């Protein structure tokens, strides 16, 4: 047995049937001409059935909106608006959702004060308005303290030079009722992020 000078093995002989099977499996159809390829890509600018096309477009848009709504509700970064993106914003959301904020009950208190204004007694109405302003002041103090706490925690976690401005973001989230917050709360009460 003579050795090949290039140290390559000689190809094994292929039978006629194997060659035909290999060639047949490769392509199977002649190459389309350029005119055929362009004709296959052409689509009419205006569909034949405009009502059906509009119906399909509405269904596709509704499906896309629903997917975005669900993605935003669960906190998927792809669907969040720019103001909610990033690890620091997620930390703020989780921290605010884990604690009880006075501002969460601000809307029910306002509703109660509105009901008190229907009472014919001016003294009851005055007490209701005074209670509302007192409650509002306490809520403002609570979100100011929350802002300082979060700034300190973010500096410890992400570095003092990389802290974003999140006080307003935290305050707006803390003043909302928990079930109405978007993205939906991902943590349980008192389960603070690390």
pLDDT in tens, 104-142: 988 888 898 888 888 888 898 889 889 889 999 999 999
In terms of pLDDT, which residue wins out, 62 or 9?
62
For 110, the token pair is: 């306002």
SS (H, E, C) 149-171: HHHHHHHHHHCHHHCCCCHHHHH
pLDDT in tens, 174-193: 999 999 888 889 889 998 88
pLDDT in tens, 56-81: 889 999 999 999 889 888 888 888 88
For 186, the token pair is: 């991902």
The mean pLDDT of 1-22, rounded to a whole number, is 62
The mean pLDDT of 13-42, rounded to a whole number, is 75
The CA–CA distances, whole Å, from 2 to 5, 10, 23, 128, 163 equal 9, 11, 31, 108, 75
Where along the chain do its domains lie? 50-79, 85-175
DSSP letters of 69-103? Answer: HHHHHTT-TTTS-GGG-SHHHHHHHHHHHHS--GG
The alpha carbon of residue 139 and the mean position of all alpha carbons in its chain are separated, in whole angstroms, by 28
Q: How large a percentage of the chain has pLDDT more than 90?
A: 31
Q: What is the mean pLDDT of the chain?
A: 85
């Amino acid at each position: 047995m003579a050795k090949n000078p290039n140290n390559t093995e000689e190809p094994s002989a292929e039978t006629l049937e194997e060659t035909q099977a290999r060639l047949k499996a490769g392509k199977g159809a002649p190459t389309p001409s350029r005119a055929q390829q362009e004709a296959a890509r052409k689509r009419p600018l205006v569909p034949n059935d405009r009502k059906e096309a509009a119906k399909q477009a509405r269904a596709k848009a509704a499906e896309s909106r629903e997917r975005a709504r669900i993605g935003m509700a669960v906190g998927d970064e792809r669907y969040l608006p720019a103001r909610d993106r990033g690890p620091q914003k997620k930390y703020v959301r989780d921290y605010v959702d884990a604690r009880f904020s006075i501002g969460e009950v601000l809307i029910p208190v306002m509703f109660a004060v509105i009901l008190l204004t229907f009472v014919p007694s001016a003294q009851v109405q005055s007490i209701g308005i005074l209670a509302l302003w007192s409650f509002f002041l306490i809520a403002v103090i609570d979100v100011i303290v929350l802002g300082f706490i979060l700034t300190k925690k973010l500096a410890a976690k992400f570095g003092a030079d990389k802290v974003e401005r999140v006080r307003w973001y935290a305050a707006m989230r803390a003043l909302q009722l928990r079930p109405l917050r978007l993205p939906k709360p991902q943590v349980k009460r008192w389960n603070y992020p690390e």
